[in-house]
Chain A
């Protein structure tokens, strides 16, 4: 079941939550909406679910217009950040809820309800806890109950609103992998809201990056990470260094340094920002051309395979972060306070208007 979102607009008073958003979610995919808080990602999810009306725009499920359809008829599964389990019901009854509230002629017989619910609890590895109350479960277990409950009604679309946001780091990581496996098993079209880039990149087939009510870029995790379309995406995904300078005929001048930007060969003397990933920086003891930036080592954190260096540019005092392989670091024997030269090996330049 695919989802087509067309020209959605939503305002809360003066605040524009969604500004002309269009999005396609192909059937069976797991797509994540990634963005900082206030970017409109949760609003978009709630409008797809029908929990919030849009000011203008349409939603289609598999080509069928569902914009005006009430929530309960949309057949979506929704997983809330704070689980929203029915606190007075057992785990079993929570999962059975969606089946029990069906109109009498569509309600499955008790035996079938029991089988479906136990099957789902088995799927989320909670069959032993069926008779427990939600208050007796851990956060991770609760969210798995919430997921089983959402799946019980065989939703056409599964919507997850920061489902792991309230859990601690270790449980998050576990559930993330588990969700990925689950999606491969049940293969329901899923939209997943998160502000955690690692989570989005690891779990989803496609990542949609949102900012200030607009979609900045959408693509596979590799596409958005390796080829960010906008300065925002560049800054939002991964650690990055920013250099402000002037762009002129394929060259960016940053103080005394010059960086190559061949894609801007047509540009004539304008302000620009160069983005350099922390691991796209080469460390040399001596200058190697105009792109070599002179800097002093401020901090060294030498654990793990990549050594993290915090450097200060000599010319203007700007901080540069560099992640260099341990072998290179040991070869040069870098110590705190030492003067070194760093050259960006890969630069992405965006002109400023």
Chain B
């Protein structure tokens, strides 16, 4: 109360920062409480619940659910699909970003829009597209049947669907980064006699490595967690075409809650590891960026 009547002086100066918002203490605390409450309800409680439910029948039951053959086969398939889809998107993403950011050509904007397409359509529709293309009654269905190749309700279809859904992650991460870096370093490299591959591996790649790693982590997380598109093309054959997310759903539908959450907790752990890695890479990337930013901001120093 006393401070309110004092003229502006050194003693009141530190309070000016607090007053900048102009809200009373009560309002501020209510807002903070709402935010925290919302976050715990939507993020924290479900996360904890997964582990609580998973362990509800004790550690032995948890362990049993995880090492059950169908669950192990689902885990293997999930890893296999990610092991194909992620490298495929690594190549595609880097190639697309390189092409978009370092060259000028007709139809560039169309290509950028196309890369965003998997983000824009619902994953279920992405799955349907592949059924329409490769299913028994699809465009290539008869030809595939003739040559005895199974795509839909088999692993190739699931790989295709996952690759499609996760296609934008790496490209989207790299395009702005590479556009910002420009083409001068590459031009300098080719003038010095470097070939295309030498320029890429010695100049371009080292400059984008943190952004690339970040994109890879996100892409991998999505590839392992994808449900909708994979569900449409999988056929849900236990021990054959089930991935971890699909296996969770099957167990849940069979009222095997503890087992279902046990498998879910494996996926959740994977997600947490991904988040930790992501944070680490982000931190590294920021450091690399501030290093690069310094190139343009340091004041001139006369050479010694």
Most interface-central of A71, A84, A174 (chain B CB within 10 A): A84
Q: Are B184 and A87 in contact (CB under 8 A)?
A: no
Q: How far is the CB of A46 from chain B (nearest CB, A)?
A: 9
Considering only residues 72-92 of chain A, those with a C-beta below 8 Å from chain B are 72-73, 75-78, 80, 82, 84-88
Considering only residues 257-303 of chain B, those with a C-beta below 8 Å from chain A are 291-292, 294-295, 298-303
Would A72 and B188 be within 8 Å (CB), given that A87-B291, A133-B291, A167-B300 are in contact? no
Question: A78 vs B188: C-alpha distance in the bound complex, in angstroms?
Answer: 7
Q: Which of A82, A88, A101, A171 contacts B198 (CB 8 A)?
A: A101
Would A97 and B207 be within 8 Å (CB), given that A80-B184, A86-B185, A87-B291 are in contact? no
- On chain B, the residues within 8 Å of A73 by CB distance are 193
Considering only residues 184-233 of chain A, those with a C-beta below 8 Å from chain B are none
- On chain A, the residues within 8 Å of B300 by CB distance are 138-140, 167-168, 170-171
Question: A252 vs B292: C-alpha distance in the bound complex, in angstroms?
Answer: 60
Q: Which of B194, B195, B207, B302 contacts A87 (CB 8 A)?
A: B207
Nearest neighbor of A139 in chain B, beta-carbon distance:
B300
Question: A19 vs B183: C-alpha distance in the bound complex, in angstroms?
Answer: 26
Size range of the chain A interface in the assembly = 35 or more
- On chain A, the residues within 8 Å of B299 by CB distance are 138
Q: Which of B191, B194, B291, B295 contacts A51 (CB 8 A)?
A: B191
Q: Tell me, yes or no, whether B189 is within 8 Å of chain A by CB.
A: yes
Q: Are A141 and B303 in contact (CB under 8 A)?
A: yes
Would A76 and B202 be within 8 Å (CB), given that A87-B185, A138-B301 are in contact? no
Q: Which of B193, B206, B207, B295 contacts A153 (CB 8 A)?
A: B193
Would A101 and B303 be within 8 Å (CB), given that A51-B187, A84-B184, A135-B295 are in contact? no
Q: Tell me, yes or no, whether B61 is within 8 Å of chain A by CB.
A: no
Question: A49 vs B304: C-alpha distance in the bound complex, in angstroms?
Answer: 33
Q: Tell me, yes or no, whether A98 is within 8 Å of chain B by CB.
A: yes
Q: Tell me, yes or no, whether B190 is within 8 Å of chain A by CB.
A: yes
Interface SS majority for chain B = helix
Chain B 136-158 against A: per-residue CB contact (8 Å), 1 yes, 0 no?
A: 00000000000000000000000
Q: Are A153 and B292 in contact (CB under 8 A)?
A: no
Would A101 and B184 be within 8 Å (CB), given that A135-B291, A138-B303 are in contact? no
Question: A82 vs B181: C-alpha distance in the bound complex, in angstroms?
Answer: 12
Chain A 130-143 against B: per-residue CB contact (8 Å), 1 yes, 0 no?
A: 00011100111110
Question: A135 vs B206: C-alpha distance in the bound complex, in angstroms?
Answer: 16
Q: Tell me, yes or no, whether A102 is within 8 Å of chain B by CB.
A: yes
Would A78 and B302 be within 8 Å (CB), given that A97-B202, A101-B198, A134-B295 are in contact? no
Q: Tell me, yes or no, whether A149 is within 8 Å of chain B by CB.
A: yes
Q: Are A88 and B206 in contact (CB under 8 A)?
A: yes
Question: A171 vs B300: C-alpha distance in the bound complex, in angstroms?
Answer: 8
Q: Are A140 and B185 in contact (CB under 8 A)?
A: no
Q: Tell me, yes or no, whether A7 is within 8 Å of chain B by CB.
A: no
Considering only residues 84-137 of chain A, those with a C-beta below 8 Å from chain B are 84-88, 97-98, 101-102, 125-126, 128, 133-135
- On chain A, the residues within 8 Å of B194 by CB distance are 72, 97-98, 101
Q: Tell me, yes or no, whether B72 is within 8 Å of chain A by CB.
A: no
Most interface-central of A71, A102, A140, A174 (chain B CB within 10 A): A71
Q: Are A125 and B303 in contact (CB under 8 A)?
A: yes
Q: How far is the CB of B60 from chain A (nearest CB, A)?
A: 51
Q: Are A98 and B192 in contact (CB under 8 A)?
A: yes
Most interface-central of A97, A150, A171 (chain B CB within 10 A): A97
- On chain B, the residues within 8 Å of A84 by CB distance are 184-185, 187-188
- On chain A, the residues within 8 Å of B206 by CB distance are 86, 88
Q: Which of A80, A140, A150 contacts B302 (CB 8 A)?
A: A140
- On chain A, the residues within 8 Å of B213 by CB distance are none
Chain B 11-54 against A: per-residue CB contact (8 Å), 1 yes, 0 no?
A: 00000000000000000000000000000000000000000000
Q: Tell me, yes or no, whether B124 is within 8 Å of chain A by CB.
A: no
Q: Which of B185, B195, B294 contacts A135 (CB 8 A)?
A: B294
Nearest neighbor of B296 in chain A, beta-carbon distance:
A82
- On chain B, the residues within 8 Å of A85 by CB distance are 185, 188, 295
Q: How far is the CB of B204 from chain A (nearest CB, A)?
A: 10
Q: How far is the CB of A252 from chain B (nearest CB, A)?
A: 48
Q: Tell me, yes or no, whether B55 is within 8 Å of chain A by CB.
A: no
- On chain A, the residues within 8 Å of B291 by CB distance are 87, 133, 135
Would A87 and B295 be within 8 Å (CB), given that A97-B189, A102-B193 are in contact? yes
- On chain A, the residues within 8 Å of B207 by CB distance are 87-88
Question: A246 vs B303: C-alpha distance in the bound complex, in angstroms?
Answer: 55
Considering only residues 35-53 of chain A, those with a C-beta below 8 Å from chain B are 49-51
Question: A87 vs B293: C-alpha distance in the bound complex, in angstroms?
Answer: 10
- On chain A, the residues within 8 Å of B192 by CB distance are 72, 97-98, 101, 149-150, 152-153
Would A86 and B203 be within 8 Å (CB), given that A138-B301, A141-B303 are in contact? yes
Most interface-central of A72, A133, A144 (chain B CB within 10 A): A72
Nearest neighbor of B193 in chain A, beta-carbon distance:
A72
Nearest neighbor of B294 in chain A, beta-carbon distance:
A135
Q: How far is the CB of B182 from chain A (nearest CB, A)?
A: 9
Q: A78-B188, A86-B188, A142-B295 are in contact. List 5 more A-B contacts (CB 8 A).
A: A71-B191, A97-B194, A101-B194, A152-B192, A168-B300
18 A-B contacts, Cβ less than 8 Å apart? A51-B191, A72-B190, A72-B192, A72-B194, A75-B193, A77-B191, A80-B188, A84-B184, A84-B188, A85-B185, A87-B291, A101-B192, A141-B301, A144-B303, A149-B192, A150-B192, A167-B300, A170-B302
Query: Could you list which residues of chain A lie within 8 angstroms of chain B, going by C-beta atoms?
Result: 49-51, 71-73, 75-78, 80, 82, 84-88, 97-98, 101-102, 125-126, 128, 133-135, 138-142, 144, 146, 149-150, 152-153, 167-168, 170-171, 174
Query: Could you list which residues of chain B lie within 8 angstroms of chain A, going by C-beta atoms?
Result: 184-185, 187-195, 198, 202-203, 206-207, 291-292, 294-295, 298-304
Across the A-B interface, the 5 shortest Cβ-Cβ residue pairs: A98-B192, A84-B184, A138-B301, A101-B194, A84-B188
